[in-house]
Amino acid sequence: MTTVVMVCTGDKYPRSAVSNIEYQLHNAGFSYDRTHVITQGEGSVYDKLQMFEQCTKDEHYVYFDLDLVIMKNVDLVRDDFTLLYAWWIAPYHTPLNSSVMAWRGDKSYIAKNFRREKYDKGIDEYFFRECTYRIYDRIAWSWAWDEREHDFPICLFNHDVEIPEWTTKYML
């Protein structure tokens, strides 16, 4: 069983952003059994940690940020905790990006061991410094650092960039 996980807290993204990701996954041919959406929280990146507390069954989980575009199918399901390596930029406080993540089973220790006062820049540095993880191959790029359409399956729109016109063919 595979569950797609998304976080839609606060007022940054409308609930339709979740439907948009589901639409993109369907069009890309990504197969999954159900969706788990976290809707309660403060509206910050720290709300993502709830998924590790809520998604603990012995099944596969694949997480997606809401500010990305899935253009074609890619094998994302993993047993080990896996996330993106941010190859498109020089590492600042971490070389990781948590816009897409996967794991199987109970990884609740990730949320339990997190200390916000230690990692005030976000959760990616925590993953890098204190978690055991694997990284995906180059399956994504960030539009914020390279405003050209690439052939990778996923485009990330980190840092509140304006979404380009070419993405409309992938969206609701």
pLDDT for residue 93: 86
> What mean pLDDT comes out for the span 105-109?
98
Q: What is the mean pLDDT of the chain?
A: 94
Nearest to 66, CA basis, from 23, 8, 123: 8
Within a domain: 156 = no
Q: DSSP readout, 133-172?
A: -EE--S-EEETTT--S--SSSEEE--SSPPPPGGGGGG--
Compute the 3-state secondary structure of the chain and give helix, strand, coil in percent, each to the nearest 5: 25, 25, 55
Total domains in the fold of the chain: 1
When comparing pLDDT for 5 and 164, which is higher? 5
Strand partners, 135: 83
Within a domain: 17 = yes
Question: Which structural domain range is residue 61 located in?
Answer: 2-68+76-137
170: left (phi over 0), alpha (psi -120 to 50) or beta: alpha
Lowest mean pLDDT among 26-40, 67-81, 84-98: 84-98
> What mean pLDDT comes out for the span 66-75?
95
Within a domain: 40 = yes
pLDDT over 70 (residue 58)? yes
Strand partners, 62: 4, 102
Within a domain: 171 = no
The DSSP 8-state label assigned to residue 165 in this structure reads G
Q: Residue 122 belongs to a domain with what CATH number?
A: 3.90.550.10
Within a domain: 142 = no
pLDDT over 70 (residue 159)? no
- What is the pTM (predicted TM-score) of this model? 0.95
55/77 Cα distance (integer angstroms): 15
